[in-house]
């Protein structure tokens, strides 16, 4: 299918061929008929892409700080590579979609194939959208009008926060799409409306829609007009829908308002406010968030949990429905807001207009014929029909940040053939496939696993999917490399064990977990020194993990297994490898309940005892400072000490023949790990890590999770 993407590096708008998404549980699969270009929002994205690196940095000072923090811990070269990888990605554009339901996912209610719906889907021939972000289009509402629903819902949510009553006077500052929709909604609500803008054509349109309007380009005085419209009492409320870095709209709004007036900004404006403006009048100020309650709440949007109707009357979905009802009743009219229409194949012309002009509503029209629909639903796109001969053909499942920046590039340096990459939406998979020379991209994971073209599967999807994908891949006779953790429950771990030993009897395969640190040159040297010493060792491993939000998916026990299980397994495995003995005891202690962010299970000390008398302590801490190295390993053995800092420098104290080892850039062993895995398949060698050891480390990590959860 075709999809509109924007290159973050240079700002170019592209029409890309990507695989159609599959229909996921709780989602609708929709064949698009119309989308609306949001000139304001999408212009900002295009302008950001076209900006040079310095201007990009100025627009995102928080990201610049993250870059400097990463330089301190990881070094300059890895940081530059990470920034370039981020900017090299393409961003899907659009959030105002109309189409016909092709398929409904498991658990969806209230929708069926054939329904016409609006959604916040992208500019793509086919979109997969959660059910709470969709609404049915009434029969009397045309697709062209319905395409404005999401934009109109943004205006409606701002108006709901103002809480206007019949006869009140409201100013709308900024007469773009949202502002002109707001004018109509306020008029339908019985309000007297004053519109303000610099664009004469938009001012005239606002007048046609029933507002009084001020053309700032002609030097008209908005404060005088507001006083006159409010009978010199001050306006009741101001809705700011302009987009400017200036602080003037806020100051102007405060000046216009009456005592205890209300002010709601929707657009992106300067927010440096004068306390006196608000203090003297006791003004109310509230920022509006997108389409309404539920926005950015994963439980509502992704998992489909609706808010109780009696307590949250207007969610984002119910705002969509309200807008569609008003369209059906002819209370608001979108036709005057349409300035341009383009077929999808001319979309780049539309974005040239967005960048250089001052359009209103730009509609993109999609081919809805039966043949076009059939073609757009193809879930696999072939980028190259020629593959180099190789004994290892890899199919990658997952194209997230780690996969695209670290894992897939590591396998690309081996002798393996990169056959196919699978992802949910298709965009990230297409990007990495083109960049790394992968022959095919698909959204059909089951087809990848069953395919005869790849004998190896590399899994880097979300943690809750690992066990199922490992079992399916083993059942298909594939070699498997799975990013940690191997499983997030004991039942899943046992199911993998059962399938592995069942398959191993008939067809020996490599099953590997991505414990790359074992393969780092630093660790290989440490292992050599420890074997030479021949005595039990004591390990102190400090991980300055850094805080992440409580609602991040890795913190979710059902999806990520918890941050400790998802990441700390690396460190348990590494100490198991260096000790070269089985784990006999695990004990975990987490920080007390008084920690600043309220999260306890990513601030944990783990104690490990090994069969040969070695012992290890893992301090996994998210309450430190980023200027400190992220990982520090100290090893005490036979009267000597090794200190490894962040896989860049290792010092030896008292080791005969070893004092120090350092590298220009961090080396956590990713490339060595990928090569060793491919070489083992090619040579038919024994598993790189015996399955019993993988099982042991996984079980120890599950023990740790149970201890801190008790």
Q: In the chain, how many domains are there?
A: 4
Task: Give exposure, 78-107, as e/b (b: 16+ Cβ within 10 Å).
Answer: bbeebbebeeebbebbbbbbbbbbbbbbee
User: Both 356 and 340 in a single domain?
Assistant: yes
Q: What pLDDT score does 156 carry? A: 98
Angle, helix 490-506 to helix 466-475, in steps of 10 degrees: 10
Asked whether residue 239 falls in the same domain as residue 364, the answer is no
Cβ atoms of 535 and 612 closer than 8 Å: no
> Tokens 């393409």 — which residue?
90
DSSP label of 488: S
Q: Check residue 551 and give its pLDDT.
A: 82
Q: Provide the CATH number for the domain around residue 529.
A: 3.30.360.10
Separation of alpha carbons 93 and 86, rounded Å: 17
The β-bridge partners of 104 are: 28
Residue 311 lies in a domain: no
539-559 tens-digit pLDDT: 999 999 988 888 888 888 899
CATH number at residue 202: 3.40.50.720
Strands 603-610 vs 583-590: parallel, antiparallel or unpaired:
antiparallel
- 295 in a domain, yes or no? no
Query: Rounded CA gap, 301 and 96, in Å?
Result: 16
Distance CA 42, CA 92 (A): 11
- Cβ pair 28, 107 in contact under 8 A: no
- What are the two backbone dihedrals, phi and then psi, of residue 394, each rounded to the nearest 5 degrees? -110, 135
Residues 6+ positions from 189 with CB-CB distance below 8 Å: 159, 164, 166
What are the tokens at 282? Answer: 């006791």
Residue ranges of the chain with per-residue pLDDT less than 50: none
**Residue recorded with tokens 């440490």:** 526
Do the Cβ atoms of 479 and 456 come closer than 8 Å? yes
Taking residue 706's Cβ as centre, other Cβ atoms within 10 Å add up to 12
Residue 316 counted as domain residue: no
- The confidence score (pLDDT) of residue 481 equals 98
3-state secondary structure of 354: helix
b/e map of 467-490 (b: 16 or more CB within 10 Å)?
A: bbbbbbbbebebbbbbbbbbbbbe
Whether 441 and 341 share a structural domain: no
Per residue in 257-275, pLDDT tens? 999 999 999 988 888 888 8
Name the pTM for this structure.
0.88
Q: What is the CATH number of the domain that holds 351?
A: 3.90.180.10
pLDDT of residue 50: 63
At 57 the pLDDT is 63
The residues pairing with 608 across neighbouring beta strands, listed in sequence order, are 586, 616
Residue 465's pLDDT is 96
Residue among 337, 17, 323 at smallest CA distance from 157 = 323
3-class secondary-structure state, position 121: coil
Together in a domain, 661 and 520: yes
**Is 397 in the same domain as 431?**
yes
Of 513, 528, 546, which one is at a domain's C-terminal end? 513
For tokens 């007036």, the residue is: 261
| Same domain, yes or no: 543 and 686 | yes
Q: What is the model's pLDDT at position 47? A: 66
Structure tokens at 672: 């060595």
- If 0-12 CB within 10 Å is exposed, 13-18 middle and 19+ buried, where does residue 431 land? buried
Residue 549 CB-density burial (10 A; 0-12 exposed, 13-18 middle, 19+ buried): exposed
- Give the C-alpha separation, 325 to 224, whole Å: 36
Of 64, 67, 52, nearest to 11 (Cα)?
52
For the chain, the first-to-last Cα distance in angstroms comes to 49
Structure tokens at 610: 């090994």
Residue 692 and residue 578 in one domain: yes
Please check whether residues 497 and 548 belong to one and the same domain: no
Strand ranges (E), 148-211: 169-173, 192-197
Residue 324 domain-assigned? no
What is the chain's alpha carbon radius of gyration, rounded to the nearest angstrom? 29
Exposure string (b/e) for 202-239, b if CB count within 10 Å is 16 or more? bbebbeebebbbbbeeeeeebeebbbebbeeebbbbbb
Is residue 610 located within the same domain as residue 467? no
Domain that holds residue 578: 516-709
Last residue within a domain, chosen from 285, 316, 349: 285
Question: Does residue 171 sit in the same domain as residue 222?
Answer: yes
Examine residue 49 and state whether it is found in any structural domain, yes or no.
yes
> Do strands 126-130 and 97-104 pair parallel, antiparallel, or not at all (unpaired)?
unpaired
Contact status, residue 77 vs residue 16, Cβ threshold 8 Å: no
Evaluate whether 273 touches 250 at the Cβ level (below 8 Å).
yes
Assigned token pair, 191: 């309000």
Give the Å distances, CA to CA, from 380 to 175, 416, 429, 509, 666: 43, 21, 11, 27, 36
Which of 531, 517, 516, 530 lies closest to 635, judged by CA? 530
Alpha-carbon distance of 545 to 630, in angstroms, equals: 6
Does some domain include residue 651? Answer: yes
3-state secondary structure of 662: strand
Burial pattern 28-64, b for ≥16 Cβ within 10 A else e, equals bbbbbbbbbbbbbbbbebbebbbeeeeebeeeeeeee
Same domain flag for 631 and 487: no
For residue 529, which of 657, 384, 418, 419 has the smallest C-alpha distance? 657
Q: How many CA atoms lie within 13 A of 510 on its CB side?
A: 28
Alpha-carbon distance of 152 to 322, in angstroms, equals 10
Q: Alpha carbon of 657 to those of 92, 102, 524, 532, 648: distances in Å? A: 55, 69, 16, 12, 20
Q: Tokens 């008003």 sit at which residue? A: 326
Task: Please identify, among 354, 374, 394, the residue that sits at the C-terminal boundary of a domain.
Answer: 374
244: left (phi over 0), alpha (psi -120 to 50) or beta: beta
pLDDT score at 85: 65
Task: Let me know whether 161 and 121 are in one domain.
Answer: no
Count of all residues that appear for the chain in the document: 710
Q: Is 329 inside a domain boundary?
A: no
Domain membership of residue 339 (yes or no) is yes
Distances (CA, A) of 208 to 203, 216, 333, 336: 9, 18, 11, 9
């Amino acid at each position: 299918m075709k999809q509109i993407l924007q290159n973050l590096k240079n700002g170019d708008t592209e029409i890309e061929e990507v695989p159609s998404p599959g229909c996921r549980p709780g989602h609708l699969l929709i064949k698009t008929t119309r989308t609306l270009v949001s000139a304001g929002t999408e212009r900002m994205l295009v302008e950001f892409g076209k900006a040079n690196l310095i201007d990009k940095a100025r627009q995102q000072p928080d990201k610049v700080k993250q870059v400097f923090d990463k330089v301190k811990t990881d070094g300059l070269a890895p940081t530059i590579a990470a920034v370039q990888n981020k900017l090299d990605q393409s961003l899907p554009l659009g959030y105002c979609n109309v189409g016909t339901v092709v398929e409904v996912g498991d658990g969806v209610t209230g929708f069926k194939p054939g329904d016409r719906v609006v959604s916040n889907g992208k500019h793509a021939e086919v979109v997969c959208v959660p059910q709470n972000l969709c609404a049915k289009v009434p029969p009397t509402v045309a697709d062209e009008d319905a395409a404005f629903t999401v934009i109109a819902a943004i205006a409606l949510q701002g108006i709901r926060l103002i809480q206007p009553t019949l006869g009140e006077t409201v100013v709308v500052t900024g007469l773009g799409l949202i502002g002109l929709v707001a004018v109509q909604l306020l008029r339908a609500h019985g309000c007297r409306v004053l519109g303000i803008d610099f664009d004469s054509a938009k001012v005239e349109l606002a007048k046609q829609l029933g507002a009084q309007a001020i053309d700032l380009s002609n030097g008209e005085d908005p404060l005088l007009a507001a006083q006159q419209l409010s009978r010199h009492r001050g306006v009741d409320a101001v809705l700011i829908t302009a987009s400017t870095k200036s602080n003037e709209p806020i100051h102007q709004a405060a000046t216009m308002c009456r005592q205890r007036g209300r002010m709601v900004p929707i657009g992106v404006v300067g927010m440096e406010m004068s306390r006196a403006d608000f203090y003297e009048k006791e003004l109310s100020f509230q920022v509006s968030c997108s389409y309404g309650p539920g926005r950015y709440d994963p439980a509502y949007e992704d998992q489909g949990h609706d808010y109780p109707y009696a307590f949250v009357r207007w969610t984002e979905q119910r705002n969509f429905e309200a807008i569609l009802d008003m369209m059906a009743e002819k209370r608001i009219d979108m036709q005057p807001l349409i300035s341009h229409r383009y077929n999808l194949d001319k979309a780049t012309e539309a974005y040239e207009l967005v960048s250089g002009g001052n359009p209103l509503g730009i509609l993109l029209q999609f081919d809805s014929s039966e043949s076009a629909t059939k073609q757009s639903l193809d879930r696999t796109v072939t980028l190259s029909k020629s593959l180099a001969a190789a004994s290892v053909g890899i199919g990658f499942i997952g194209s997230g940040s780690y996969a695209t920046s670290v894992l897939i590039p590591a396998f690309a340096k081996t002798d393996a053939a990169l056959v196919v990459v699978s992802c949910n939406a298709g965009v990230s998979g297409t990007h990495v496939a083109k960049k790394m020379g992968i022959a095919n991209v698909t959204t059909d994971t089951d087809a990848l696993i069953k395919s005869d073209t790849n004998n190896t599967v590399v899994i880097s999807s979300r943690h809750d999917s690992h066990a199922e994908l490992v079992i399916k891949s083993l059942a298909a006779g594939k070699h498997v490399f799975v990013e940690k953790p191997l499983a997030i429950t004991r039942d899943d771990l046992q199911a993998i064990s059962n399938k592995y030993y069942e398959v191993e009897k008939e067809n020996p395969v490599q099953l590997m977990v991505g414990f790359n640190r074992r393969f780092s040159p630093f660790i290989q040297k440490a292992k050599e020194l420890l074997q030479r010493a021949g005595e039990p060792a004591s390990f102190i491993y400090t991980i300055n993990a850094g805080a992440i939000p409580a609602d991040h998916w890795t913190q979710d026990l059902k999806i990520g297994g918890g941050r400790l299980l998802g990441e700390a397994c690396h460190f348990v495995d590494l100490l198991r490898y260096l000790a070269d003995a089985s784990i006999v005891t695990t004990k975990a202690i987490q920080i007390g309940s008084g920690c600043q962010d309220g999260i306890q299970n990513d601030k944990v000390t783990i104690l490990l005892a090994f069969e040969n008398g070695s012992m290890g302590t893992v301090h996994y801490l998210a309450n430190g400072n980023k200027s400190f190295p992220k990982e520090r390993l100290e090893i005490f053995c036979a009267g000597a000490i090794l200190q490894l800092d962040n896989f860049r420098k290792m010092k030896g104290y008292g080791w005969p023949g070893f004092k120090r080892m350092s590298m220009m850039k961090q080396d956590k062993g990713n490339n060595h790990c990928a090569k060793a895995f491919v070489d083992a398949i090619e040579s038919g060698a024994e598993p790189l890590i015996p399955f019993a050891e993988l099982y042991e480390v996984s079980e120890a990590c599950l023990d740790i999770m149970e201890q801190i959860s008790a």
